[in-house]
Chains A and B, each alone.
Chain A
Amino acid sequence: MTGVRRIVTWLLAMALLALCAFAAQRIVKIAQADRWAREDPQRALRWLPDHPQALLALAHQQIADKKFSLAQSTARHLLAVAPLEGRAFRVLAEAAAAQGQQAEALALYRIAARRSPRDVRTRAWLIEHFLGTGDYPRALAQMDVMLRTTLHKSNIVLAAMALLAVDPAFAKQLARTLEQRPAWRQSLLSTLYNGKDSRGANSVLSHLRARGGLSPTEFDEWIAWLMSNDRWGEAYSRWASGVARQGGSLQPIYNGGFEIPVTGRGFDWRITAIPGVSVEFEPDVGAVGLSAHVAFRGRPVPQINLEQPLLLAPGAYRFSSRVRMDALRSDRGLEWVITCAGQTDPIANSARLEGTFAWRAIEMDVIVPPNDCQGQWLRLRNPAPSGSSQHVFGDVWLDDVKLKRQRSMTRPSY
């Protein structure tokens, strides 16, 4: 019995040893194959002839060396050991494309895209192909997948989109895609704004707006971007395209009577929240319709929160406004000023107003210089400099804010 047990034990030990030896050599082979798969696929394949990564790397080498038949053979070998590997189809597609078989290449690339959705080379070829044939919907569909699946390439794809948006047909299709609000929408808008060629941004945003796909906030950002790029004329026209025109005309100061609800966007009045100041539009005795009522609660007010951008041609103007004040007290009163965009010194200041008085007209002359004054800002200002007392108490009502051209037109220098 003891002898039999010894034999069985010995046999089990030998079997275990053999198993360990087999596992060890397998581990060594796999480790060596994994080690050399990318750098030296031939060497890796000597360790493990069916190593998928080595086969793929070898196929890439063969494509790069223009050994297309060998690459196809390697790709088929790869498919035999890894049937779901889409990049094997991509290798076959690359070989087909290199040999001028475009239709076959397209079919193979489509299979590759389905089986390996994150393969950048496949997506790149399909994007290139669809762009080349003018099939922008399909090109954008590929870009969309690439943006959602290959995050480390998103900047490149977004930059490509921004470049291509100069083409009106591409911009139109891109706007349709953006209407679906993909996750990369805001990133693309930022890329468009930062691009060198503003035509792409304008074209895409214009199509989006025409289709109702631009939010008010995004429209505001667009107008602000145009103005910050010294394109005040374009900003004005795009804003004016969607505003109410009183009597078919647009006055130099929009909504100077405050009769239309203030939108705070474009070239309408803008009101920003400032502690200690409130602005309301309400009827007042002695005013026709609505007037702007600005109430100050005695807090320091470095600036008043009522302003409007203007697009005045160079030349002379007469500014006028009706004003009423009730116990308005401050160190230096309040004044209307007009400044050229991007500059601090005003081109016109009104008389400083304070105290209590009934409705009365105030006026000031405005000379818009021919240079460096493409756009202007009209502001109600507290002239007290910082460091001095900027406290303002009391109430002011404003109405009929107007600008009239004074002389016959002069030729601008730009």
Chain B
Amino acid sequence: MRITVCADKGTFMTTSLRSVLAAVFVLAAPMAMSADDAATLRVDQGAVMSSEGGEFVTAQTGQVLLEGQRLMVTEGAVATLIYSDDCKVVYDVPGVYVIDEDCEAAMLMADGTGVTVTERTVMTGSTLGTRGSIVPLLIVGGALIAIPLILDDDDDDDDFVAPPVSR
């Protein structure tokens, strides 16, 4: 959001009006900053590059990124975007991300491109499938998954080597 204050030539502005406008400008300035200067970059590790639409150039910590610019996180790199309200978005998956002025939207975008799952696989138990098969239940990335390692009881007998008739 851009806030511009202008006065036509010859317009008479009283002191009180100037004061009011000045106050409005001062109050509006942080809002203008937060909108124009979408976020400040912190390069945590690795190579991070930014682009205004053309070439990608190496990005540095402290660099201000504007809405619509692109941030490229290479393999092994981690970058954090710090918004004016101290909201932070961490990018640790290689990709090219479009900077959004809204921190929460940026988080969604980061999620959509595959932020690393940090939840460890947790065994939650097992259940018996059809005909007594074992179906491990795991939580992976926050989702419950079942892995049917055995599908039927034929697994018990298919490789049974019968003893010779002369036993």
The residues of A with any CB-CB pair to B shorter than 8 Å are 26-27, 30, 34, 38, 52-53, 56-57, 60, 64, 82, 87, 118-121, 123-125, 127-128, 131-134, 153, 156-157, 159-160, 163-164, 166-170, 197-199, 202-203, 206, 209-210, 231-234, 236-238, 240-242, 245, 248-252, 311-313, 315, 317, 403-405, 409-412, 414
Contacts and interface: CB of A to CB of B under 8 A. Distances in A.
B73 interface: yes
Contact of B56 (A60, A127, A249, A317): A249
A412 B55 CA distance: 16
Contacts of A153: 149, 155
Nearest to A202: B114
Contact of B149 (A160, A240, A248): A160
Contacts of B126: 128
Contacts of B160: 53, 56
Given A64-B132, A124-B150, A233-B95, A241 B140 contact: no
Interface in B136-161: 136, 138, 140-141, 145, 147-151, 153, 155-157, 159-160
Given A57-B157, A233-B96, A210 B68 contact: no
Given A127-B149, A210-B75, A237 B95 contact: yes
A237 B75 contact: yes
Nearest to A123: B149
20 contacts: A57-B156, A64-B132, A121-B134, A127-B136, A127-B149, A156-B149, A163-B140, A163-B147, A168-B118, A170-B121, A206-B94, A233-B95, A234-B94, A234-B95, A236-B72, A238-B74, A238-B94, A242-B75, A312-B53, A313-B98
A125 B134 contact: yes
A167 B73 contact: no
A167 B123 contact: no
Q: Considering residues A163, A203, A231, which has the most beta carbons from chain B within 10 angstroms of its beta carbon?
A: A163
A164 B120 CA distance: 10
Contacts of A30: 165
Contact of A409 (B49, B66, B73, B118): B66
Contacts of B156: 56-57, 60, 87, 121
A91 to B, nearest CB: 10
B106 interface: no
Given A120-B155, A164-B140, A131 B66 contact: no
Nearest to B53: A313
A252 B138 CA distance: 44
Nearest to B115: A199
A128 B134 contact: yes
B76 interface: yes
A89 to B, nearest CB: 14
A311 B117 contact: no
Contacts of B148: 156
A128 B163 contact: no
B76 A210 contact: yes
Please name the 10 residue pairs, one residue from A and one from B, whose CB atoms are nearest each other, closest first: A132-B123, A233-B96, A405-B54, A124-B149, A241-B75, A120-B155, A241-B74, A313-B53, A128-B136, A160-B147
Contacts of B69: 409
A217 B56 CA distance: 26
A34 B164 CA distance: 12
A103 B125 CA distance: 17
A240 B150 contact: no
A250 B121 contact: no
Contacts of B132: 60, 64
A209 B49 CA distance: 21
B138 A164 contact: yes
A242 B74 CA distance: 9
Interface string B85-99: 000000001111110
A248 to B, nearest CB: 5
Contact of B97 (A125, A132, A167, A233): A233
A53 B162 contact: yes
B63 interface: no
Nearest to A410: B68
Interface in B40-91: 47, 49, 51-58, 66-70, 72-76
B162 to A, nearest CB: 7
